[in-house]
Amino acid sequence: MEHFYDTIGEDWFDFSDIYSYVVDNFTDDSHFVEVGSWKGRSASFMAVEIINSKKNIKFDCIDTWEGSIEHNQDNKPWVTEFQKDKDFLYSTFLKNTQSASDVINPIRKRSHDAAISYKNRSLDFIFLDGSHEYKDVLLDLQLFYPKLKRGGIIAGHDYVNCEGVWTAVHEFFNCGVLWDGNWIKNDSGNWGPNKPLFDLPIHIEAGKPLAARTSFLFKKP
């Protein structure tokens, strides 16, 4: 199936390499979760990758479809659309992802409520792109990380540009890999399910935001 994600919604999706990597490297019967799906841009990319892999990968998309705090504060045209109609974002997501809907399981809940419905050590890949508020990200990490299988991968968006994200990620993990503005870590402390995920890691001081969009290993000295 041809990718169609680039026709959908706002252009915030810069983690396609991570999505392709996990589809390539995890096996049949894996279980992936995306927290924060908005209008379906990243979700439809993942869904088409799954379809094209011919692997039987379960893919849950968790979102309130009410927008994040920062979306509701923004003075953007799309804010009024979803503030007028509380189902606007959800119906837009369903419409936009319809042609790949066989492999998408939308879960309309707050991430914290959805997290507790998973068994511990049941998920292979979790991507956090929901709330970027410090307290919410920390709670997402506390609730979702135990759900990761050994060798599973957890990652998230907007590490570089969101203080709430990088503060929570540093508080929760001592180490991980930062890639192109996103953070990524696996359960065992090795990078990737079978092999290093990224080359040439650079050690940096924990707790400091990074200005560059590049590959780093972050680790407490």
The least CB distance from residue 48 to ligand SAM, in Å, is 14
The least CB distance from residue 35 to ligand SAM, in Å, is 6
The least CB distance from residue 126 to ligand SAM, in Å, is 13
Buried b (16+ CB within 10 A) or exposed e, 82-94: beeeeebbbebbb
User: With binding defined as CB under 6 A, does residue 136 bind ligand SAM?
Assistant: yes
Distance CA 74, CA 6 (A): 23
Q: What mask, x for binding ligand SAM by CB under 6 A, covers residues 69 to 108?
A: ----------------------------------------
User: Exactly one of 49, 60, 63, 124 binds ligand SAM (CB under 6 A); which one?
Assistant: 63
- Please, how many CA atoms are within 13 Å of residue 173, restricted to the half-sphere of its CB? 25
Q: Which two tokens stand for residue 21?
A: 């990597």
Closest CA to 100 of 62, 61, 126: 61
Residues 6+ apart with CB under 8 A from 44: 3, 4, 5, 8, 96, 97, 100, 104
How many other CB atoms sit within 10 Å of the CB of residue 120? 10
Q: Which is nearer to ligand SAM, 35 or 201 (CB)?
A: 35
User: With binding defined as CB under 6 A, does residue 21 bind ligand SAM?
Assistant: no
Q: Which two tokens stand for residue 168?
A: 């929570």
User: Exactly one of 97, 131, 182, 186 binds ligand SAM (CB under 6 A); which one?
Assistant: 131
**How many residues bind to ligand SAM according to rule CB under 6 A?**
21
By CB under 6 A, which span of 31-39, 147-155, 159-167, 198-206 interacts with ligand SAM? 31-39
Q: For 189, left (φ over 0), alpha (ψ -120 to 50), or beta?
A: left
User: With binding defined as CB under 6 A, does residue 67 bind ligand SAM?
Assistant: yes
| Residue 25 near residue 193 (C-beta atoms within 8 A) | yes
Which single residue is written with the structure tokens 């995920």?
197
Q: Which is nearer to ligand SAM, 12 or 204 (CB)?
A: 12
Q: Which is nearer to ligand SAM, 60 or 124 (CB)?
A: 60
User: With binding defined as CB under 6 A, does residue 130 bind ligand SAM?
Assistant: yes
By CB under 6 A, which span of 61-69, 145-153, 166-174, 188-196 interacts with ligand SAM? 61-69
Contact residues for ligand SAM (CB under 6 A)? 9, 12-13, 36-38, 41-42, 62-68, 110-111, 129-131, 136
